[in-house]
Structure 1
C-alpha cells in the first residue's frame, strides 16, 4: 500500500488498503464512521500494536496528501482534499475499534492526533465541500471533550484546538450561543496573561455585529479573571486597563506632572512584586507604565519600563517573553542592549550575546562600567568567546586615551585577551583561521604600546608584562611550526613580535641580561625570516612575487644577518650557541642568493658572494648551496656564474673542504666558460685550472680503496683528456 502510494498509484494503494481493512472505499459522515466498523471482521483479530501501526501509517499518508493539497492550485486541490479526508477517516476507523484506547496512552494520543488532523482536513476542504464544516465541528467537539479532562488541558496545543473550533463556527456562521460556548471554553482554560487576553480581544473585534456575544464574552472573561489565583493583581490590572481605555477613548493625554505621579505608583507596586519574586505580576505593573495615556513621559520612562519588565521575565525564565518586550524598547540605548545581553547569556546563546555587546558599545549613552559588568557576567557563565569580545570592546574604549596609566591598563587587558585566545586555541575544534590573526593583532598592539614606553624610558615599569608577552608569542610560534598548516606568514609574524619585545626587554634591563635570552633572540630573528622565505616559495608555486615583496624580504634578510652578527661580535653566546648562530648566517646568505636571483639583482649577488668567500671556514655547505642555485638559474649571466664558481672554488681549495666530485663539476664549468671566451689570458687561466685538476686527480688516485665520493668521476677524467687534447690541437 505504502509503496504504491509513494509511486502515485492511488488505485493500487486503495485496493491494498481494502485488503488490509476489509472496508469499502467511500466517504462517510462522522456518524457513518462509527457505524462502518460493524462490517469489519478482520481488524478485531489484530494486536493493539498492529492496529496502532496501521493507523499511524494511514495518518501519515493522509497528512502528506493534505500538505500537498495545501500547496496546490485551488482548482486542482479539490480531489486531493477528498483523498486526504478519506485516508484520515480510515485511520480513525482503525483506531476506533481498539478496545484499549482508553487504557493505552499511546493509542489515546494517536486517536487525538487523528481527530486533530481530520478536523483540520475537514476545515481546509470546506471551501470545496461545504458539508465538511459540520464534520470538522463534530471532530473538534469529540476531541475537545477528551482533552478537557486531561491534566494538560491548558496547554497551548489544546488551546489551538479550541481556537480552531471558533474558526469553524465563524466560517459556517453558527449561532451566537455556539460561539459563546466556544469562547467560554477558551477563557476557562487560558492563563490571564497580557498576550492571551489580547488575543481574545482582537478576535472579538472581528465579531462586532454580534453585540450580545461580545458583551457576554467580556463578562465571562472578567469573571474568570476575578476568580483567578491572584485575585487582587488581576482586578488591579483590569481596573488600570479600564481606566486607561477611558482616557484613550477620549483621546486625552495626561500632563507630565500627573504622568510622573502615575509612573511612580506603578513602579512602587512593580518593585514590591519584584522583591517578593512574583515575577509575572511585577512585569504586568511595569508594562502598565508604557500605556499611550502616559506618552508625555514616554521618552524618559517607556524604555525603562520595558527593560524592567524584561528583567522580570528573565528571572521567571520566560526568555521568549523577555525578548518580545525588549523588541518593543524604543531608541538605541546601551542599557537596553545590556538587558539583551543578559537574556542571551541566560540562554547560553553566544552569537546573540556577542552582537549585543557590540551594539552596546556603539550606543550614544554607552558607559564603560557596563563592560565591566559584562566581563563578570561572561566569566561566571564560562562563555569564553563572549568574554573575549567583551575584553576587546573594553580595550577599544582605551584606544583614544593617551595617559600612561591608560597604557598600562591596556597592556594588562591585552595580557588577559592573549591568555584567553591561547586557551581557545587549545580547545578541540578551535577555529585557528580566526584565532591566530586575533592573537597576532593584539600582540602587535601590545608591541606598539611597549615601544612607546621604551621610547620614553619607562619600560622598566612593565618589565614583567614584556617578559610574559615575548615568551607567549615565542611559544605560540613554536607551536605553530608543529601544528598549523600553511601558516608560515603567521608564524613569522609571531617570531617577529617575540624578537621585538625581547629586544626591548634586553635593552631596558637594569641588570646583566641572561645569555640565554640572546639565544632566543637569534632563534626568533632567524625563524621569522625563514618563515617569510618559505611562504614566498609556496606562493611562487601558484603565482609570481611582486618586486616590493621581494625587496622587503631581502631587507629582512640583511637586517637579520646584521642582528645575529652583532650578537656574535658581542661574545654573548656559548661555544655551542655560537656555532648555531653562525649556521644561521650561512643559511641567511643562501636565502639572500635565492631572493637576489628572483629579483635579478646580479650586482648585489656578486657582493654577497664576496662576503661568503671571506666568511668563516664553516660555510662549505653554504658555498655548495649557492653554486647549486646559480647553476639552476637560467637567467643568471655567465660572468656572474663564473665569478661565483671561481670564488667559491678558490675558497673551497683553500679550506680543503670540498668533495672531489663537486670540485670536478665546478672546475669543468669554469674551464668551459674560459675556453668559450677564447682569449689568450682565458686559455692560460684554463690551463691553470686543468693543472689543478690533474694534481687533485693524482692525489686521489693513489689510494684505490677510497670511498666513492673521493674518487674523481670517470666522465670528468675523459672530459679533461678530450678537452686538453682538442684545445692543444686548436692552439697549435
Structure 2
C-alpha cells in the first residue's frame, strides 16, 4: 500500500542519516552521502538533494573532500539532473545543477570534462538569452577542451548570434578538420547525436534561421566534404543549390556569381551519385534527375557566357546518364551535346588560336561524335522530317575539323549534299567557315559557294542578295592578287563569275544592289588596268569592256564613272590598234 511505501522510505532515509552520522570520520562516508543524494533524487526530493549537495561542496573546501570515485559518481548524478531539466525546458534549473558540478573544479583547472560541463552551461545561458555569460562559459570550454568539435560548435553558435560571420566560418572550417578524426562519445546532456555531420547539419539550420546564408552554405559545404553518407551529401547539395537560388538580387553580375558558385555543387553531385553507394536505386535516379534539370535550367541562364553554358550543358548530359533512358531523355541529351558543342565553338571563334583553343575544339568534336550516336538511336525508332539536327551537326563538325585543319572536311561537305533538302544558306555558312582563320580551304569554299549559287538560282523567286553575296565571294577568292598570279586559267574562271553577275543584274536591274554593281565594275576595271600594264592589250580591252558593261547598270553614279572611264578606255583601244599595226608590219 501507499502507506507502507511511505513508511519504508522514511525508514530508509532515517537509516541513511544514521549511517552518515555514525561513519562521519570514515573515508567511505562520501559514498554514503552520494547514495543518499541519489535516493533523494529518485524520490523527487530535489530540494533536500540540493541541500545535501551544497553541504558536500562546503565540505569540499573545508577539508572534507569526497574520494575520487565518489566525486565521479556525484558528477554523473548532477549532470543527469541538469540534462533532465534542460530537455524539459527548465534551463535555469538545469544551470543550477551544472553549477554545482562546476563548484568541485579548481579555478584555472584544465580538464576535458570541465570543458564539456562549460559547454552545457553555455547552452543554458543561450536559452536564457544571457549571451555574455554564454561567451564566458564557452571561453572556459575552449581553454579546457580546444580540440573538441562540440566546443567549436558552441563558438559557432555564439558567432552566429553576434552576426560574426567570419568567426562562424572559421569555426566551421575547424569543425571540418576535426570531424575527420575519430569522435569520442559525448555525454547525452545536450546533444542527442554525436556525429559531426549532425552538428554541421544543425549549424546550417541555425544559420538559416538567423538569416546567415554564407554561414549556412559553409556548414553544408563542410558537411559534403566530410560525410561518408552519400544520401546525406546529396541532401546537403540540394540545400546548397536552393540557397544559391534564394537570393533576391536579379542583376546580371549577381547571376554570374551564383552560377559560378553553383557549378562545383553540381559537379560534386555528379561525383557522389556516380559512386557505388548504399542509396536506393529509385532515390539515386530521382536525385540525378533533379540535378540534371537544375544544370539544364542553369545553362539557359548563361546567355553571353559560352564557357558557363558549355559546362552546365555537359553536366546535364552526364547526370542524364544516371537516369533510365527514354525518348524525352534522349532528346534532352541530344540538345545538351549540341549546345555544348555550339558554346565551345563560340569560345574558339572569339579567341586567338592556341593549344587551349585546340583542346577546346577537340572536346567540341567529342561532343559532336557523342551527339551523332544519340541522334542515331532516336532516328532508329522514329522519323524527324523537319528536324535540323543533321544539318547542325554537320555544320558544327565541319567548323571544328576545319579549324583543326582536318582534311575530313571534304567528306562532311559531301554528307551535306546527300541530305534530302540541302539548304543553300548552310552551304554559304560552310564556305565562310572554310576560310575563317585558322582554317584555309579555298577550293572547298568555292565548291560550296557554286552549289549554293546554283540552289538559289533554282528557286522560283531567287534571292538576289544571296546570289550577289555568293558571286562576290567567288570573285574575291578567284581574282589574282598580284602580277605573279595572272594566268589564263584563273582569268577564265573569274571571267565566268563576272558574266554570271552581269546576267543576274540584267535580269533584275532595279533590284540588284547598286554598290555591289560598283564593286564588280571596279574589280573588272582594275583587272583590265593590270593587264594593260603587262602589255596584254587584248586581254585589257576585254576586261575594261566588261567593266564598261557594268557602268550601264549604275544609277546616279553612272554619269560620273562613264566620263572617267571612257577616256582611259579610248587610250587602251588606241594602244591596242598600235599593237596590231606593229604586229602586221613585223
Equivalent runs, 1:631-642 vs 2, <5 Å? 633=437, 640=440, 642=442
- Give the Cα–Cα distance (whole angstroms) in 1 for the partners of residues 223 and 291 of structure 2: 19
Look up the match of 1:476: 298
Please tell me whether the aligned partners of residues 529 and 557 of structure 1 are also in contact (alpha carbons under 8 angstroms). yes
Structure 1 length normalisation: TM-score?
0.52
Indicate which of 376, 383, 388 corresponds to 1:579: 388
Which secondary structure does the structure 2 equivalent of 1:612 belong to? helix
Match of 2:174 in 1: 359
| Equivalent of residue 513 in structure 1, options 327, 331, 340 | 327
Matched, 1:647 2:455: no
Is the Cα contact below 8 Å between 1:290 and 1:305 reproduced in 2? no
Which structure exhibits the higher relative contact order, with contacts defined as CA atoms closer than 8 Å and separated by 6 or more residues? 2
1:494 aligns with 2:300: no
How has the CA–CA distance of structure 1 residues 360 and 243 changed in structure 2, closer, same or farther, with 3 Å as cutoff? farther
Instruction: Write the distance in 1 (CA, Å) between the matches of 2:85 and 2:441.
Output: 92
Which deviates further from its counterpart, 717-726 or 281-290? 717-726
Give the 3 Å change call, closer, same or farther, for CA 243–545 of structure 1 in structure 2: farther
1:135-158 Cα distance to aligned partner (Å, 9 max, x none): xxxxxxxxxxxxxxxxxxxxxxxx
Aligned pair in 2 of structure 1 residues 659, 272: CA closer, same or farther (>3 Å)?
closer
Establish whether residue 285 from structure 1 lines up as the match of residue 100 from structure 2. Answer: yes
Distance 1:721 1:361 in 2: 81
The answer to whether the 8 A contact 2:450-2:470 is kept is no
Note closer, same or farther for the CA distance 1:701–1:429 as it changes in structure 2 (3 Å cut).
closer
Per-residue CA distance 1:605-656 (angstroms, 9 max, x = gap) = x5425523652465544554565567675x87xxx45424433333334434
Give how far 1:478 is off: 0.9
2:227 matched to 1:420?
A: no
Compared with structure 1, are the counterparts of its residues 522 and 581 closer, same or farther at alpha carbon in structure 2 (3 Å cutoff)? farther
Gaps of 5+ in 1: 1-231, 400-405
Decide whether aligned partners of structure 1 residues 567 and 309 sit closer, same or farther in structure 2, where only a CA change above 3 A counts: closer
Q: In structure 1, what is the equivalent of residue 188 of structure 2?
A: none
SS of aligned partner of 2:509: coil
- In the alignment, which of 697, 716, 725 is matched to residue 523 of structure 2? 716
Residues 1:312 and 1:430: Cα distance change in structure 2 (over 3 Å) = farther
Matches within 5 A, 1:602-681: 603-604=405-406, 606-608=407-409, 611-612=412-413, 614-616=415-417, 618=422, 620-621=424-425, 623-625=427-429, 628=432, 633=437, 640=440, 642-656=442-456, 658-672=466-480, 676-677=484-485
Question: What's 2:158 paired with?
Answer: 343
Identify the match of residue 560 of structure 1 among 355, 367, 370. 367
For the residue of structure 1 that corresponds to 2:391, the secondary structure is helix
Residue of structure 1 in register with 2:284 after alignment: 462
> Paired residue for 2:226?
397
Match of 1:256 among 68, 76, 80: 68
Shift of 1:245: 5.8
CA–CA distance in structure 2, aligned partners of residues 256 and 429 of structure 1: 67
Distance 2:85 2:281 in 1: 56
Alignment partners' CA distance in 2, 1:326 and 1:716: 87
Shift of 1:393: 3.1
My pick for the range that moved more, 264-273 or 352-361, is 264-273
Q: In 1, are the aligned partners of 2:505 and 2:512 still within 8 Å (CA)?
A: no
C-alpha displacement of 1:693: 3.0
TM-aligned CA distance change 1:674 to 1:690, over 3 Å? farther
Q: CA deviation at 1:553?
A: 1.2
What is the CA-CA distance between 1:431 and the residue it aligns to? 5.5
- The answer as to whether partners of 1:467 and 1:502 remain within 8 angstroms in 2 is yes
Instruction: Assess if the C-alpha contact under 8 Å between 2:259 and 2:298 holds in 1.
Output: no
The 5-angstrom pairing of residues 106-505 of structure 1 reads 256-261=68-73, 263-264=75-76, 267=79, 276-278=90-92, 281-282=96-97, 284-291=99-106, 299-329=111-141, 330-331=144-145, 332-347=147-162, 349-363=164-178, 364=181, 365=183, 367=195, 368-374=197-203, 376-378=205-207, 381=210, 383-399=212-228, 406-424=229-247, 435-452=258-275, 462-481=284-303, 487-505=305-323
Q: Which runs of 5+ in 2 are unaligned?
A: 1-47, 184-193, 458-465, 540-582
**SS in structure 2 of the partner of residue 480 of structure 1:** coil
1:526 to 338, 341, 347: 338
